Amino acid sequence: MLSKLISITIAALIFTVGCQAKKPPSTINDCDAAFGDAQITEIETSLEQLTRGINSNPTQTILPEDTNGTLSLGLNADVFPVLSSPTGVHSAASKLENGRIVAYSGQDFLGSQDRSTLLGEPSIDTLISNAVYWSTQTDSSTPPKVLVANHRIKEVLQQKGISDVTVSPVILTDGLWSFQDWSADALTGMDAAVVQVNEWGTLYVNPDDVTALRDFVASGGGLLIAGSALHYSWWLNYSAEQFIGDMLTEGTGISWNILSIKDLSDSTVVQDALSAPYPLWCTYLAGEPMTENQLVQLPPLFNAAKSLGEEDV
C-alpha cells in the first residue's frame, strides 16, 4: 500500500526550483552544518504553539468532493509539516523574510460554505486560531488584527477570542473571478491575512494582489492560505501562469500538488521536528527508519536535491 501511495505521489508532485534556498546536504556531516540544534528547537517550539489543544487525530472527515489535495515541501530550512497523513502533508508552516506563513492543502480548511468545509470541527477551529497567533507572534493577551476571506473564518476566530476581525470585501466580479481586496491599502494596519485562493471554480485572489500580500508577509505580517489546486487547474488556469497559492508561497518551500484526497480521517498533527524536510533528508542519508507519514514526503526532496546538483541521490 505504501509503495503505491509513494508512486502516486511521485507522479503527481510539482516542484518549483525557485522555492529552494540552497544546495542540500549530501553527507551526514553536511547535515550537522546545515541544520543545527537551534533550528530543531525553533521548530519544536512552533509545533507546540501550532498544535496546542488539538487532538492528535483532529478530524474524522471524508470530504464529499475533490476539493482537498496535499502540499509539497521542498528542501527549505524554514519549512515544516503541521498536519500529515500517509497520503501526504495537509498543513505546513514556513517563513517569508520577516513574516510567517501557514498553508493548507484544500479549500475546506477555510471553507465559506457547508457544502464542503472543515470549519466548525473543534480541533480544526483551534488549528486555525493557533495559526493566526503563531503567524503574528501574538497571544490571547494581545490579540491580533486580522483580515479574513469569509464570515465563517471570522466567526471561528471571534469564538477563539480574536475579536478584531474584518472580512475582505469583493471589489471586482468578472465571470469566474470574484476578487476580494487584498491590496496594500487593505492590508495596512493588519497583523494577519487569512486568504482563500479559490473555492471550486471561483477565484478570490487577484493575481495583481500577489505582490502586496507577499510584501505584507515579508514585512512581518502573518498569512494563512488555502485553496483547491485541482479545481483551479480545471476552471481557473487562464487566470495566471501558475496556481496563485504557489505564487504567494514562492521561496518558502511550500507548493500545492494537483490531486484529490478526500479522506482526512487518518491525518495526525506533527509533533516531531525531525519530520521537517531538512532533518528528514538527513534521516534518509543516514539510512535510519521512517514512519509512513515521513516516507511519503521523500519524493519532492529527491526532486529538490537533483535540481540543486545532487545527482546521485
pLDDT digits (tens, 9 = 90+) for 71-122: 999 988 899 999 999 999 999 999 999 999 999 999 999 999 988 899 999 9
Residue 91 lies in a domain: yes
Tell me whether residue 178 is in a domain.
Answer: yes
**Is 246 contained in some domain?**
yes
Q: Give the predicted TM-score (pTM) of the model.
A: 0.89
99 domain-assigned: yes
* Helix or strand run (H / E) with residue 287: none
In a domain, 313, yes or no: no
DSSP conformation letters of 292-310: HHHHTTHHHHHHHHHHTT-
In a domain? residue 241: yes
Q: Determine, yes or no, domain membership for 206.
A: yes
Residue range(s) defining the domain that contains residue 269: 2-307
The verdict on residue 312 lying in a domain is no
Q: How many domains does the chain have?
A: 1
Residues near 254 by beta carbon (within 8 Å), at least 6 away in sequence: 19, 71, 72, 73, 74, 79, 92, 94, 101, 103
pLDDT tens-place string over residues 153-204: 999 999 999 999 999 999 999 999 999 999 999 999 999 999 999 999 999 9
pLDDT band at 309 (very low <50, low <70, confident <90, very high): low
